[in-house]
Amino acid sequence: MTSIPAALTSLDASRLTANAPLAPYTTFQIGGPADWLYEANSADDLAAAITAARTAGMPWFVLGLGANVLMGDKGMRGLVIRNRAVAHTMSDDGVLWSESGAVIQDLVLDTVRAGWSGLEHYIGIPSTVGGALWQNLHFLSPAPERERTMFISEAFADCEILSAEGERKVVDANYIQFGYDDTVFHHRRDVVLSARFQLTKGDPFRLHQILQENLSWRGSRHPWLGIHPSAGSIFQKIEGVGAGRLIDQCGLKGFRVGDAQISHIHANIMVNLGHATAADVRALIAHAQRAVQDKFGYELKPEIGFIGEF
């Protein structure tokens, strides 16, 4: 049996696994083993695990649903903390408090059932609260009367973080610096522990209609994760052009390297046909970048995170 490093002995040993494969915990279903995988079941537990790793100088990474990331085939050294902190409550005045590991879809369904509006736009998008704030989760609404990009920042009130310096504090939107696929969390090793969202009263009938419209729109344009695992959009948005459109115009829908394939449905999404490796995906990314650069002169920049060793 692998002995637990002294730095991690303060953690619950029953939730600590050595040499744990990461592929099952990502939406791409790709990734080698972590030296150590820990399941954090509360915000306090999450903070304690990060603090333990930091104190020991051990590499660490917080993993939510594993969307929007590509894990390396060689896995990750140090500690991967799977964020399972899912507690959440709703107040009578429309304030939703949630720990950062709560799944956005669960919060959408809970709030819509209770007649609260603000999160319904994000139905069907695989993300935790922490991941949603990290990337300023967004969705382009298909309905004519609201045909614009909706951002999670519109419902955001504040959040508690564990800062890069080890301080637990509550911060607001000014600190977060919400942008398009960008926040302060891309530039500092702060971690969201919990968050509050200010919702408004809505008509449950209308909210359910929005859920159905958005799920239908998304289902017709994105491959189903249960059949074709993916990490979502691979490349950053190119304003007025569209990364997927450029890839499509290069004739690359369906192009594959190993078991990694550019989706037939959406050219900015790459899918795992069953046994794709991170090396396959990286080679496919490089091929799409070269093709678009050569034909159109645009540089495609990945928006997914590359985590671990490749």
For tokens 């390297």, name the residue.
Answer: 257
Question: Is the distance from CB of 296 to CB of 244 less than 8 angstroms?
Answer: no
Tokens of 108: 């959408």
The whole-angstrom separation of Cα 145 and Cα 154 is: 18
Q: What are the C-alpha distances in Å from 106 to residues 28, 126, 158, 240, 309?
A: 21, 10, 20, 33, 32
The whole-angstrom separation of Cα 36 and Cα 4 is: 9
Amino acid at 160: E
The whole-angstrom separation of Cα 304 and Cα 302 is: 6
| Annotation marks residue 233 as catalytic | yes
Residues 6+ apart with CB under 8 A from 67: 26, 27, 126, 127, 131, 231, 232
The whole-angstrom separation of Cα 88 and Cα 195 is: 9
Tokens of 241: 């052009």
- The answer to whether the Cα torsion of 207, 152, 70, 76 is positive or negative is negative
| Annotation marks residue 256 as catalytic | no
128 backbone dihedrals φ, ψ, rounded to 5°: -90, 175
**C-beta atoms surrounding 274 within 10 Å:** 9
For the purposes of burial, counting CB atoms within 10 Å of the CB of 100, is it exposed (0-12), middle (13-18) or buried (19 or more)?
buried
| Annotation marks residue 15 as catalytic | no
For tokens 């922490």, name the residue.
Answer: 130
The whole-angstrom separation of Cα 235 and Cα 169 is: 33
- Selected catalytic residue, list 146, 188, 206, 245: 188
- Selected catalytic residue, list 117, 233, 263, 282: 233
**Catalytic amino acids?**
188, 233, 303
